[in-house]
Every structure is written in C-alpha cells, then in structure tokens.
C-alpha cells in the first residue's frame, strides 16, 4: 500500500516563505507504518524545533530527506531543490543567493542514518512560496492565502496519486477549512470523490476510478500525530523555512550588527521591520514582506 503525508510550515508569518512538504512511501497497514518509524524521532515539527538551535530539527529532517531521496543535502540550496525551488527563483534577492554557501548540517554534530527495512521510500516533494509569489497571487485577485496554499497542495496531491495502487494520504488540516470535496473533484476530474466523513476533527474522502484501487485522502486536525509521513513532511517543510530565515537574518545582521534576528511572525516582524527602516523595507518590500491577506477560508 502507498502512504503519503503533507504538511506546511509558515502559513501565518509576515516574513519568509510558506513551505509545504509531501513524503511518500510504500509499506504495510497504518499500525505497521507507525511502528516502523517509532525510533526515528519523527514528530510534530513545532515540538521538535528549538528556536535557539537548528540541531534537533536537523537530526530528523536531514536523515528523512536522505532516506526518501537517496541523497544527503550538502547545502541549503539542495534542500530547497527537493521542494522544487530553483536558483533562478532566488536570483536578485541577496540573502537568498547565499543558499549554495550555507553548508549542512548547520548545528547538528552527528546525524543518524535511517534503516527501515519494512518500508520502501518513494519520494519527497513540496513547494516554497516566497513573498514575491505570495504577493503576486493576492494582487491578481485569484483568491486569498488559503486558495494560494491549496493551489500547491492540490498539485502535490495530484502528483502523489499517479499510481493505481491503494493509497492513504494524510494532510494536516488547512486552517479552518472543513469541506474539501469540491476542491478534490476539481483536482481529480477523472475520479468520483466520495465523502467518508466531515467532522470537527477530520474530513475524509475516497477517490474511485475504474482500474484503480480506492484511494483515501484525509484532512486531519493534528495530522502529524495521525501519520509519520505527515510528521516527516512537517519537519522537512519547517527545516526549509528555517534555513531561509537563517539566510535572511545572516544577511541583515551582517549589515546592522545591532539588529536582533527574527523568526518572521507578525508581532516580532513589526519590530524587525521598524528597526531595519522604511528605506530598506520599501526598497525590498516585495521580496521581503508578505501582503496582508484575507483570512477567510
């Protein structure tokens, strides 16, 4: 059976990218899958990440990337490439152009090697939505930030469901959105999308198509606790976002030694932007600051 997990990091911040990860494997039933990953340290990235050091997150994210892709990232640019971001997209933004010089691991002194004989890695994909793309979408009036997020998640779901095998996919629920059938039907026009359940904790659907095994897609509150694949996606997405914030902070503190680094979340971002000053903020606004979005989902 094929299993996939999708999660994001950075939906709410003012600075830095919205990062989304998608991890895919083949393995046995859910209970077996959970046992297989029990010793890897995988979990909710918000609980693993230590704001003082990247080491705990690196000790999960980097081995996960290496196991799923067969390649241990050497630089931040390698991590970004796994999630679909090319060097071309970073050209012209000086703090992002440093990606090839950020050597990994940044903080961890030793990385474990994953050996999971009962599970076969299939792949790791994702998306990095930088402020410039974020702002362009909102200005186009194509939708709000929830629609922007779905645009990437819908693509990842479509790419993850190319096999005719049975599949279970767990997506961490997208904000307050509860109903996904119409979105899934648009994403999978050749399938019949059936509602399994739509409750306060989970929205589950089955995709039915001739010559395909049924595929289950669930949007779960706390999806990281429902599937180790969603937890892996969470950790990889969070790590990619933190690497981008590391580059941003290194660039700006290198020019203003008194500037305190920021994680990019709204309240502290206001402080940081005020300290950087309107001249720099206006000059780099589209590459630096996300437009305030309509919160409706």
Question: pLDDT value at position 248?
Answer: 98
Chain segment 102-142, per-residue pLDDT in tens: 999 999 999 999 999 999 999 999 999 999 999 999 999 88
Question: pLDDT value at position 57?
Answer: 97
Question: pLDDT value at position 176?
Answer: 82
Whether 292 shows a pLDDT value over 90: the answer reads no
Report the pLDDT averaged over residues 247-255.
97
Report the pLDDT averaged over residues 203-210.
96
Whether 294 shows a pLDDT value over 80: the answer reads no
Whether 296 shows a pLDDT value over 50: the answer reads no
Domain residue ranges in the chain: 2-246
Percent of the chain with pLDDT over 70: 98
Computed over every residue of the chain, the mean pLDDT equals 94
Rounded to two decimals, what is the model's pTM? 0.96
> HEC string of the chain?
CEEEEEEEECCCCCECCEEEEEEEEECCCHHHHHHHCCCCCCCCHHHHCECCECHHHHHHHHHHHHHHHCCCCCEHHHHHHHCCCCHHHHCCCCCHHHHHHCECCCCCCCCCCCCCCCCEEEEEEEEEECHHHHHHHHHCCCCCHHHHHHHHHHHHHHHHCCCCCCEEEEEECCCCCCCCHHHHHHHCCCCEEEEEEECCCEEEEEEECCCCCCEEEEEECCHHHCCHHHHHHHHHHHHHHHHHHHHHHHHHHHHCCCCCCCCCCHHHHHHHHHHHCHHHHHHHHHHHECCCCCCCC
Q: Contact at 8 Å (CB) between 96 and 131? A: no
CATH class of the 2-246 domain in this structure: alpha beta
Query: What is the CB neighbour count within 10 angstroms for residue 200?
Result: 8
């Amino acid at each position: 059976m094929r299993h996939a997990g999708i999660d994001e990091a950075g939906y709410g911040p003012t600075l830095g990218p919205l990062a989304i990860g998608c991890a895919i494997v083949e393995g046995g039933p859910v209970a077996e899958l959970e046992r297989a990953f029990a010793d890897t340290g995988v979990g909710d990235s918000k609980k693993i990440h230590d704001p003082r050091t990247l080491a705990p997150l690196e000790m999960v994210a980097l081995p996960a990337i290496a196991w799923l892709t067969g390649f241990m990232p050497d630089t931040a640019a390698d991590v970004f490439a796994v999630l679909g971001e090319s060097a071309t997209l970073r050209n012209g933004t000086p703090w992002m152009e440093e990606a090839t010089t950020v050597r990994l691991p940044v903080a961890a002194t030793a990385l474990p090697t994953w050996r999971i004989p009962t599970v076969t890695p299939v792949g790791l994909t994702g998306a990095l939505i930088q402020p410039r793309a974020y702002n362009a979408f909102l200005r186009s009036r194509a939708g709000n930030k929830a629609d922007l997020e779905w645009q990437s998640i819908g693509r990842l779901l479509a790419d993850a469901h190319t096999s005719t095998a049975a599949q279970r996919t767990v997506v961490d629920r997208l904000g307050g959105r509860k109903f996904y059938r119409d979105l899934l039907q648009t994403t999978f026009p050749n399938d019949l999308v059936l509602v399994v359940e739509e409750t306060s904790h989970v929205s589950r659907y089955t995709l039915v198509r001739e010559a395909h095994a049924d595929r289950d897609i669930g949007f779960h509150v706390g999806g990281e606790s429902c599937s180790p694949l969603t937890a892996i996606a969470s950790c990889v997405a969070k790590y990619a976002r933190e690497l981008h914030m590391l580059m941003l902070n290194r660039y700006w503190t290198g020019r203003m030694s008194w500037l305190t680094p920021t994680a990019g979340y709204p309240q502290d971002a206001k402080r940081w932007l005020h300290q950087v000053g309107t001249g720099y903020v206006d000059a780099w606004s589209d590459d630096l600051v996300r437009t305030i979005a309509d919160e409706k989902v």
